[in-house]
Structure 1
Amino acid sequence: MLLSREAITTPLFACLCIFGISWMQLPRLQQLLTHNQSVAIEVLRKAETKESLRLNLLQKIPSFSYNNLIANWVYIDFLQYFGDEEIRNRIGYNLSPEYFEIILKQDPRFLDTYLSLSVSTSLYAGMPERSIKLMDQGLQSLSPQVPHQSYYIWRYKGTDELLFLGNAEAAKSSLIKAAEWAKVYPDPQSQYVALVSQKTAEFLQNNPDSKFARISSWAMVLENNVDAKIRKRAIREIESLGGQIVFDAQGKPTLKFPDQD
């Protein structure tokens, strides 16, 4: 049976409307601060409220099978939001999890977003519970091989549980799952992640307050992030726990653990 022209174009038209709403109301916070460095906090707050309403609308509107397109687009919106340090320093990162509510609902296999989720929501916005909840929801749709190297999500989750919630038992469980999923892959990188995850879980098994485990977790933050502020904080945290970061001639960091846990 042939479909009518209206039946074919209606989902596409609806999807274009979704994107039209987003494009017309794309975060104006950047424009506000660019044009006037002295914009009042109240004005920025109102603009952020409008952005929150836009995200809430996107959360509710059906995707009409354009899930990946919506996820990619909202992720680009998030990068613009997160990247404007001047505004973020003034009013914070509170909308970070709202972007990922949409992104991971549309595409829970979007691996790169999980690191951004952990960094922006747990570390910057101070909402590790939201970050972990979103990762838990996403993991229900994943397997060891889908997406490729999905074991990293268990690593991010374990890191958030240990460093920001202080939940050693939950972190240990997540790291054990990370090791199990990483062992599926034969490449050296995956095997290294499996070994490190297993060792960190063993540290926590023997000592829930393990400095070694926390140093190992901060080292993962350091290895996986190019943000200068986060790298400085990771190094600071490692050194406060008795660890040491030594850089070689190429700038590659090497981690040294303290003599005792």
Structure 2
Amino acid sequence: MQIRGLIKQAVAPAIAIICAGTIAHLQSAQVTAAEQQADQEITKAEALREEAQYKTNMALAQKLPSSGFDNLIANWAFLNVVQYFGDDEARSKTGYTVTPEFFEVVVNRDPLFLDMYSYLSSMVTLYGGQPQKSVAMLEQGLAEIPEAMKPEAYFLWQAKAADELLFLGQPQAARQSYEQAANWAGRSSKPGLRKVAQRSRQTAEFLATNPDSRQAQVSSWSNILMSAVDQRTQQFASSQIEALGGRVSVNDDGLMSVQLPSESEQEQRQQ
């Protein structure tokens, strides 16, 4: 046992160095490629090669041993996400085929990296066109959230509910997810989270009485709007809210608010 322990102690630093070195090499290669293409239009062939390289990098990230470097690998993968999503020219030629792999790497390596969930779930659903994969990754992450973090992680349930209601046609699954969001947010004594719990519970009630509720749909798009970190997603969510009869307003401080459609407006739109 002592020999095995000594071997483990000797090997662990080497593995850590290899992991860090591999990540640094991959990141350097991507930055160099991006710099070379910055001043010239990228061809479709080049964009597809870059897309394939992202896939290869994420496959490698899945295989790297952790050795205490899981957070580093997750952060590196998320930086890749930001770079990938920000390259509009390349994505116009390739689509967003690697988004599920990004989400999978980050959740597998650091499921408590809460800030990444809203970004990646909307990216996989809205741009990657795979809401079922988004739900699977959210479920995996939810299973790892410790009790102490649950009040702050309520929005994972809201993201799951939005996928279920708006993209998968599962209003009752969405209702259950909103109920869970209300339960988690309601555990906090913070007034803001209490309001979140109230709104989530209200949305669940809308779905319990009317699975086709426009109020519930607008509420789901509102969650996407409020958690969006890019203007494109914000604009798309706003257009969906307004198409459903909701109203988006911005105050003098730049804070957005959403007004749900009334029952009478919903009835008129259904006639």
1:153 Cα deviation from its structure 2 partner: 0.7
Instruction: Sort the Cα spacing of 1:28 and 1:216 in 2 relative to 1 into closer, same or farther, 3 A.
Output: farther
Q: Which moved more, 1:23-32 or 1:203-212?
A: 23-32
Q: In the alignment, which residue of structure 2 is the partner of 1:200?
A: 203
* Residue 14 of structure 2 is aligned to residue 14 of structure 1: no
CA distance in 1, matches of 2:90, 2:44: 9
Match of 1:235 among 226, 234, 238: 238
Q: In the alignment, which residue of structure 1 is the partner of 2:269?
A: none
Match of 1:191 among 186, 194, 214: 194
Q: Secondary structure at the match of 2:249?
A: strand
Q: Secondary structure at the match of 2:189?
A: coil
Instruction: Sort the Cα spacing of 1:18 and 1:198 in 2 relative to 1 into closer, same or farther, 3 A.
Output: same
State the AA in 1 paired with 2:51. E
Structure 1: state its 5+ residue gaps: none
Alignment map for 1:106-145 (pairs within 5 Å): 106-145=109-148
CA distance in 2, matches of 1:148, 1:66: 27
Check whether the contact 1:28–1:47 (CA below 8 A) recurs between aligned residues: no
Check whether the contact 2:62–2:105 (CA below 8 A) recurs between aligned residues: yes
Instruction: Sort the Cα spacing of 1:202 and 1:89 in 2 relative to 1 into closer, same or farther, 3 A.
Output: same
CA distance in 2, matches of 1:175, 1:87: 36
Taking only aligned residues, the RMSD between alpha carbons, in angstroms, comes to 2.1
Instruction: Sort the Cα spacing of 1:27 and 1:122 in 2 relative to 1 into closer, same or farther, 3 A.
Output: farther
Equivalent residues, number: 260
CA distance in 1, matches of 2:171, 2:26: 40
1:199-246 CA-to-partner distances (Å, cap 9, x unmatched) read 001100100111000011111122222422222211211111111223
Check whether the contact 2:44–2:90 (CA below 8 A) recurs between aligned residues: no
Q: Which moved more, 1:184-193 or 1:136-145?
A: 136-145
* Residue 56 of structure 2 is aligned to residue 53 of structure 1: yes
Q: In the alignment, which residue of structure 1 is the partner of 2:67?
A: 64
Instruction: Sort the Cα spacing of 1:209 and 1:144 in 2 relative to 1 into closer, same or farther, 3 A.
Output: farther
Match of 2:88 among 64, 75, 85: 85
Q: In the alignment, which residue of structure 2 is the partner of 1:41?
A: 44
Alignment map for 1:216-235 (pairs within 5 Å): 216-235=219-238
State the AA in 1 paired with 2:16. L
CA distance in 1, matches of 2:50, 2:142: 33
* Residue 244 of structure 2 is aligned to residue 245 of structure 1: no
Using the size of structure 2 for normalisation, the TM-score is 0.88
Check whether the contact 1:67–1:107 (CA below 8 A) recurs between aligned residues: yes
1:255 Cα deviation from its structure 2 partner: 2.3
Match of 2:218 among 210, 215, 223: 215
1:8 Cα deviation from its structure 2 partner: 5.3
Using the size of structure 1 for normalisation, the TM-score is 0.91
1:29 Cα deviation from its structure 2 partner: 6.2
1:76 Cα deviation from its structure 2 partner: 1.3
Match of 2:177 among 170, 174, 177: 174
CA distance in 1, matches of 2:10, 2:87: 42
State the AA in 2 paired with 1:9. P
Identity of aligned residues (%): 34
CA distance in 2, matches of 1:17, 1:119: 31
State the AA in 1 paired with 2:125. S
Instruction: Sort the Cα spacing of 1:16 and 1:238 in 2 relative to 1 into closer, same or farther, 3 A.
Output: closer
1:76-101 CA-to-partner distances (Å, cap 9, x unmatched) read 12111112222223322111121121
